[in-house]
Amino acid sequence: MAKKIGCSCQNFESIDGFYSLNEFENFRNHFKKKLEDGVVLEIPVKKKYGGFEEHWYQCAGCDEKWRLVYPDFPFKGIWGKVPEGDDKAVMEKL
């Protein structure tokens, strides 16, 4: 857990499943603001979590990477840190 002190990603809290589509939409709207403000940058997805729509973001202040996997019932979606291994993965291996 080596986060840079004062980095905006310190406030990111992982979400293991959104309770409702509404909650997911609220999260996305809230997150869109961060993207527009340049707090996070969208980066290419290197290894997919599953067969769901997914986007990766990197903190603008450090190299921490986060993934947003869209919910697709019964899968509830995920917002969380990209594990080191997935980050190093190569697309061709999919």
Task: Summarize as ranges the residues that interact with Zn ion (CB under 5 A).
Answer: 7, 9, 59, 61-62, 64
| Residue nearer to Zn ion on the CB measure, 48 or 81 | 81
Q: Which residue from 28, 8, 26, 24 is spatially nearest to 16, judged by alpha carbons? A: 24
| Residue nearer to Zn ion on the CB measure, 9 or 69 | 9
Torsion of CA 60, 66, 69, 70, to 10 degrees: -40
Grouping H, G, I as helix, E, B as strand and the rest as coil, residue 19 is coil
| Residue nearer to Zn ion on the CB measure, 7 or 70 | 7
* Residue 51 Cβ vs Zn ion, minimum distance, rounded to whole Å: 29
* Residue 61 Cβ vs Zn ion, minimum distance, rounded to whole Å: 4
* Residue 75 Cβ vs Zn ion, minimum distance, rounded to whole Å: 27
CA separation, residue 40 to residues 20, 31, 57, 75, 91 (Å)? 24, 9, 6, 25, 22
